[in-house]
Amino acid sequence: MRSSVIVFPGSNCDRDVAVALEKFHIKNQMVWHNDTNLPKTDLVVLPGGFSYGDYLRTGCIASKSKIIDDVIRHAKKGGLILGICNGFQILIEAGLLPGILLRNIGLRFLSKNVFLKVVNTDNQFCLNYKNKDIIQLPIAHNEGNFFAKKELLKMLEDNNLIAFKYCNKNGEIEENSNPNGSSNNIAGVISEKKNILGMMPHPERLIDPLLSGEDGSILFTSLIKS
């Protein structure tokens, strides 16, 4: 499998995710935001960080970068796209995923490990979570409060397009385990064709037992399963 990590000015998890991809033998290339064409690639990754300093609106300016047109073409062809944290915000701004990411309800940046329930394991990113669907991953964001109108929420639920929900350690989805105020505790969503995943938690940060867990690894092993 080949991947391309897009580097925007202000991206800061680009190296971390590249390290994770390479650890699982995915052949990765870094792609500069000003390029117009993606190299030959199966997976495009939009990494976390503060693209364009979060100015205007998180992800907004990056979603107008030169490379994004080709990312959209890649999406339309059914190519895989993973957006993590700021990458998720960019995917929404680019219209590739629905919803809005608002500021955290507590109006504070939050960096901590959270429990997640893997709601949909029937997609290329989450296949291997079938055996372990209550996991822990770090979040680190200021604008991760996923908001959607009632109709959209219903559509996402009915069509099983929610990948992850914040939960407690027993996997129960409850308000107390919702760190940022997201509608229905949503932490990650997938596109209708299931080729695009946007998520606030950082799987690339938990791929090593030394770093107190490997739940992030499962996402990458799922990707190489095909």
Residues forming contacts to other proteins in the complex (CB under 8 A) are 9-10, 12-13, 15-16, 19-20, 48-50, 52-55, 104-106, 108-112, 138, 140, 142, 168, 176-181, 202, 204-205, 207-208, 210-211
Nearer to other proteins, 105 or 193 (CB): 105
User: What does the H/E/C string look like for the chain?
Assistant: CEEEEEECCCECCHHHHHHHHHHCCCEEEEEECCCCCCCCCCEEEECCECHHHHCCCCCCCHHHCCCHHHHHHHHHCCCEEEEECHHHHHHHHCCCCCCEEECCCCCCCEEEEEEEEECCCCCCCCHHHHHCCEEEEEEEECCCEEECCHHHHHHHHHCCCEEEEEECCCCCCCHHHCCCCCHHHEEEEECCCCCEEEECCCHHHCCEHHHCECCCHHHHHHHCCC
Nearer to other proteins, 56 or 73 (CB): 56
Q: What minimum distance in Å lies between the beta carbon of 154 and other proteins?
A: 25
CB atoms within 10 A of CB 107: 9
Q: What minimum distance in Å lies between the beta carbon of 122 and other proteins?
A: 28
Q: What minimum distance in Å lies between the beta carbon of 56 and other proteins?
A: 12
Nearer to other proteins, 113 or 121 (CB): 113
Active site residues: 85, 202, 204
Q: What minimum distance in Å lies between the beta carbon of 169 and other proteins?
A: 10
Nearer to other proteins, 9 or 171 (CB): 9
Nearer to other proteins, 49 or 83 (CB): 49
CA contacts within 13 A on the Cβ side of 186: 29
Q: What minimum distance in Å lies between the beta carbon of 78 and other proteins?
A: 30
Q: How far does Cα 174 stand from its chain's mean position?
A: 22
Burial of 184 (0-12, 13-18, 19+ CB in 10 A): middle
